[in-house]
Structure 1
């Protein structure tokens, strides 16, 4: 079974209380990958399954960090359950949408050939494409950049 996250839980992770957060600045920033989808739309469900299997196959945080070059956390969001959030943030319920963010920061901005700069990528995505997106996002964060150019 795929473990889904609520946007309330994700928000608490991305925007922790300021108390004691000074120590985090010395750590590598964790890239949080949010993938919106729903059970009734096969392409978005398949994207979530690919992401779930990718991270499940890697297993430990150490293996995930080795694969992508830095710390990454995956959050699978049911857009049907989070319809209000999706409506407020122009996320079409039923589509595969990937957003990348770091704690306390705004979302990363993606540049894709033939597409405008945007804070989200529209899928569907398979495991190979997800790996490329995540590696590129982690590399941008490590370089102190907010813009991520992806060749997918």
Structure 2
């Protein structure tokens, strides 16, 4: 992290102070990675709230309270996820991740297929080899009377 960012306070601010702001930090940079990260957080929070909503009525007699608790936790989790991807420290990290991913030389379709075939063949060959060694050693130990 550069020296001027930490001195200005924008990148060094704690997450707790950022939770109560609504602006988007550097909205045009790192959009794809930030949106995918936010989506992953939203899915995790949503599934957790749904699971909690299914679990709470068994513990509580009042279904309205259970729905309210799950709804409040869902809203708080979604807001936290939105603010997390806009926290300057984390947003700068995600922007840097997207910049690095754009530098990667991705394989062509033909190269990917060839590499996948090599991996699948190697795994199959190793599985057959290990199975053969297992059968061989089992035969040897049975012949020696070590195993019954």
Q: TM-score range by the shorter chain?
A: under 0.3
Query: Greater share of strand residues, 1 or 2?
Result: 1
Q: TM-score, normalised by structure 1?
A: 0.23
